[in-house]
Amino acid sequence: MAKALEGVPERDMDPPPGLVSVKIDPLTGQLTGTENRNAIFEVFRADALPKQSSEDVFTGVPGSSGGSVGSGEAEQLF
C-alpha cells in the first residue's frame, strides 16, 4: 500500500454522524466511570448507549453510578 499511495497526501476520515465513545467495563459491557482501571473506550450509536453502569449490575441499584461517564454522559471520540 505504501508504494501504491506514494505521493498521495494523508487525510483524516470524518467519523459517521451519531457515533460517540464511552467508557465501558469490558467484563460487563456496561457503562463505567473513571474509577474503573480496566475500563475501555467503545464506540456506540448515540441512540444505543448502554443504560446501566457496571456498578449497578453488581449492586442492583439502578442509576447509582456516582455521576461520571457511568451516569449516561457520552464522551465524543472525534
Domain assignment present for 6: no
Domain assignment present for 36: yes
Structural domain that includes position 58: 19-71
41-72 per-residue burial string, b: 16 or more CB within 10 A, e: under 16: ebebeeeeebebbbbbbeeeeeeebeeebbee
Give the pLDDT confidence of 13-31 residue by residue, as tens digits. Answer: 887 899 998 999 999 999 9
Mean local confidence (pLDDT), 32-54: 87
Domain assignment present for 78: no
Domain assignment present for 39: yes
User: CA 63: distance to chain centroid?
Assistant: 18
Domain assignment present for 14: no
**In the chain, where does DSSP find H-type helix?**
54-59
What is the total count of domains within the chain? 1
Domain assignment present for 45: yes
- The pTM of this model reads 0.52
